[in-house]
Every structure is written in structure tokens, then in C-alpha cells.
Amino acid sequence: MWSPRVVLLFLALALGQPDELVEAAGPLKVLGLFPHPGVSHFHFFHPIMKGLAEAGHDVSVVSHFPDKHPVAHYKDFPLTGMDKLTNSVDLKFFEKRTFYSHFQEFFLLYEWGKQSCNLTLRSEALQQILRRPGRFDVIIMEQFNTDCMMGVAHKLQAPVIALSSCVMMPWHYERMGAPLIPSHIPALFMAQSQHMDFGGRLANWFSTHALNWMYKLLSVPAADAMVQYKFGHDVPSVGELVKNTSMFFVNQHYSLSGPKVTPPNVIELGGIHIQKSKPLPADLQSILDNAEEGVILISWGSMIRANSLSVAKRDGIVRAVARLKQKVIWKWENETLPNQPSNMYIMKWLPQRDILCHPNVKVFMSHGGLMGTSEAAYCGVPVVATPMYGDQFVNTAALVERGMGTILNFEDIGENTVMRALKKALDKKFHDAAKAVSHSFHHRPQQALHTAIWWVEHVAHTGGAPLLKPSAVEMSRFVYYSLDVYAVLAVVLGSIIASWVWLLRHCCGSSAAQKTKRD
């Protein structure tokens, strides 16, 4: 009879704050807004939304990826009409990389952001959400290449939690009141770890600030135009609305990408997508169990079609593999592979995480995508990484910095380079470093999914966790970094020095003049 709910209700009435405590006792209404059509991003969001539904909350998800077997309380509102970015990137695009590639990538993201914003604002899925009666307790949205969805959150008047499936972008720090420090935080698009030489820091400083300003000058007004077209001109700029982001969940972990200074409203959830292991298919299990010399896994992720590799590169890999004692499993999207050696197995799809954690797997050849990189960190497997675009460079640099990875540049792929990179990664040093990272990746005070659910409930129950919001969010960056103080100090110091110089010149100058006069 005195169930916790009744007790809470009683308490609530006694304390005269019925709404909040009754809400605290019941399931939350949670909305997920995921306009970007990249499936690898959704692999970070889905476990959180599903976990909330399993915890009994009422979850509505607007995305391109409806769940085929949704759990109870998980309702999809599918977006349609934008090509999903899976298996869609042709490797020829990466043959020629230059310094300007980062900026080309920015413009690619900017265009995608505009398209996904436009499509989502016009979608039937969003109309259904806006028509639904009752309000949401919390909105969870991706913050990536557009802040368009902040307009929707403003309309729905609910607290916002942002998710980022990669490390934070340069434009994400200010809104959380976090310091943006290019001396040790590598920009997402740069191939650097936290240890940079002077040239690297100079380039990182330039890239970080340039991208931040490009975002403010291009992406924010583009989103504003579409949001205001949809909801009217009294909606504030999304550049202002993002300051209302209550929390930021980011797919990184210090064990891999290095510790960063962030306020407590930024939470690291790296590896949240890694599920309990499932039994392997029998054929794979026997290949792995019987590999006395170990196994090398080659997989370049969901976005890149391996059979668009040039013939020379493909043959280079094949010839290198033929010289190895190890067995090699390659995610290869074709029935056949010319000159396939006997120690090589090709598969169109493979359970990457379960293979990686098999004790016989010695090296993972990867494109440095964050999901695969996290799985390698989790299972403790050294990586030969071939980064191609986006955050893959910064992930690879982190692997190298931690001593568990080596780079094989895409343009260098050939028999001897592949051989050399694999030999290097098979060294015991790499194995030990990978195991050390794996230990820290595993041992946390609380599982990532429980951490996420705890904070979502906290944000909902406190109406946006206002106590967690740093006052720095409202400061200009000029004040935030004390540049005004430095400026005043410089003026005061300058005046003191100037007056000393003036005094010295005057008295000594005049005494010298008097001396000559007397002589």
C-alpha cells in the first residue's frame, strides 16, 4: 500500500510542490532528434535511447534508422528521403589529400547540415511530434554539423541534452562553458594527438579558430533561416539557443583520446555502444580458434566500399597477406577476390566487436573510425590505421600516442608498406600498450549506459540542471580568457615603462646638457 510512488505523492503534497515530485516518480517522456543520416553516428545514440526505454521511460525517436525490433516504450518517427551514408563512400575520393582537405570537409558537413535540417523540418515525422499533446520532459539531440534542432527544442520548451558521436567540434566548447585550448586539444580534422610540436600547435590554433568562425558565420545563419521560415521570426538565433544545452554526452574516453578539461556538464561515454558479446557463427569461431599464429582483421567500416580500392593497392594487400603466417579476415563486399591467398577469408559482413575480443586476434587493420577504434581499445588489440576523412585522423593520432597503433597512409598502401606496418603492430610493445588502455577503458566507477540514464533523469527532474550551467556560457570569449585584464595590465605596464623612459631621458638628458654647458 505504501509503495514508493504513494510515499512520494504524500511527500509532494505535504511539501506543496506536487508537480515536480510526482513527475520524478513516473516515467519520463523523452524525445530523440537525430537528423544526420550517418549510421555510424546512430550506433552511439541508439543504445542510449533504447536503454532509456528499457528503464521504463517513454521514448520517441526521430531518425533515419527505425529500430527493426524495438523494445517496449520505444517509438520511431522515421525520416525518409535522404540517402543514408552507408557503404556509400568511394575510396577514389581519398587518393589526393591536401592541406585544404579539412576545409573541403567542413563545406561537405555544412552542405549535409543544411540538407538534413531542411528535410527534418519539413518531415511528416516532425509534424507528428509537434502535434502530440503533452510536453516532453527532456530532448536528446545530436549536435554535429547544424544546430537546427535547437529551434524545435525551443518550440517544445524542454531541456536539451546534446550527443556527439565523435570528439567535440571546435564550436561545441563555448556553449558548455568549456575552455577551447588549441595547445593541447587537437581539432577534429587534424591528424594530431595531445602532444604537438610548435608547427603542429600553430596549424591547430589556426584550424580550430578558423573552423569555429566558419561555423558561426555560415552554419548558424543557414540554420536560422530555415528555423525561422518554419517557426516564425520571433525564434531566437540557434547560436543563442545552444547556450541552453543542459548537458553534452560525448563519445570519447580519456584512456584513448587523453584527458581534457571540461566542466561537469560534459560527460564522457566512450564505448557505450559496445554490447555484451554474442556467440560467433560456427565457421568464424573455428577459423579463430584454430589460428595458432593468430588472426589479423581488416575492416574499413560501414561507409567505405573496399572493392573500390585500386587494383594496385588491392594486389599489394593480397601479396603481403600471402607472405604472413597469420590468418587474415577481410570485410570485402564482393563474392570474389582475385588471387585470394589460402590464409585469407573474405566476408561481406562480420561481427567486428566479437571477433576483436577473441584472444587470437593480434592486429586490427582499420580506417580509424571511432566505433572500431573504441572496440579495439575495449578488447585491447593493436591497430594499423588508414585514416581517410573526418575524425579518423584524430582517432588514429590518439592510438599512436597511446602506443597501440601505427599509421599506414592510404596513398602508401602496397605490399612492402602493409608488411612493415603489420610487423610493427605485431610487436609485444604494441600488445602491452593495448592491454593497458583496455584496462582503463573497462574499469569505470559506473557503466557508461547507467551514467547516461542517471544524467538524463537528473536533467529531467531538475528542469535542465540549472546548477550545472557554468556562468562562462554567457561570457564573451574575450572576457572568458581574461583578455580584457591582460589588455588593462598591458596599458598600465606600458604607461609605467613609458614614464620611466621619459623621466630618465629628461633628467639625465638635461644634466648631461648642463654638464656640457658648464664645461
Residues of this chain that interact with ligand NAG (CB under 6 A) are 114, 118, 154, 157, 159, 226, 236, 241, 244, 307, 334-336, 463-464
Cα dist from 517 to 42, 502, 506, 510, 514, whole Å: 88, 22, 16, 10, 5
CB atoms within 10 A of CB 222: 19
Q: In what order do the strands lie in the sheet with 160-164?
A: 74-78, 58-63, 29-33, 138-142, 160-164, 245-250, 266-268
> 344-347 and 295-299 as β-strands: parallel, antiparallel, unpaired?
unpaired
At residue 362, φ and ψ (nearest 5 deg) are -100, -35
Task: Give whichever of 17 and 307 is closer to ligand NAG, judged by the CB atom.
Answer: 307
Residue 340 corresponds to which cell in the numbers above?
585470394
Residues 6+ apart with CB under 8 A from 448: 269, 270, 271, 272
Cell numbers linked to 404? 597501440
Q: Which is nearer to ligand NAG, 35 or 200 (CB)?
A: 35
Closer to ligand NAG by Cβ: residue 29 or 114: 114
Residue 416: CB minimum distance to ligand NAG, A: 22
> Shortest gap between Cβ of 249 and ligand NAG (angstroms)?
16
Closest approach of Cβ 132 to ligand NAG, in Å?
18
What is the DSSP code string of 206-224? HHHHHHHHHIIIIIHHHHH
Cβ of residue 387: shortest distance to ligand NAG, in angstroms?
A: 22
Nearer to ligand NAG, 122 or 450 (CB): 122
Least gap, CB of 150 to ligand NAG (angstroms):
8
Smallest distance, Å, CB 33 to ligand NAG? 15
Between 194 and 237, CB nearer to ligand NAG:
237
- Strand, helix or coil at 263? coil
Residue 434 CA to residue 439 CA, distance in Å, equals: 9
Q: Which is nearer to ligand NAG, 241 or 284 (CB)?
A: 241
Toward ligand NAG, which CB reaches closer, 318 or 394? 318
Query: In this complex, which beta carbon is closest to ligand NAG, that of residue 161 or of residue 350?
Result: 161
The distance of closest approach from Cβ of residue 119 to ligand NAG in the complex, given in angstroms and rounded to an integer, is: 7
DSSP result, 259-308: -----TTEEE-TTTT-PPP-PPPHHHHHHHHT-TT-EEEEE-TTTB-GGG
Question: In the bound complex, what is the minimum distance in angstroms from residue 222's beta carbon to ligand NAG?
Answer: 7
Cα–Cα dist 518/49, whole Å: 93
* Closest chain position to ligand NAG (CB): 464
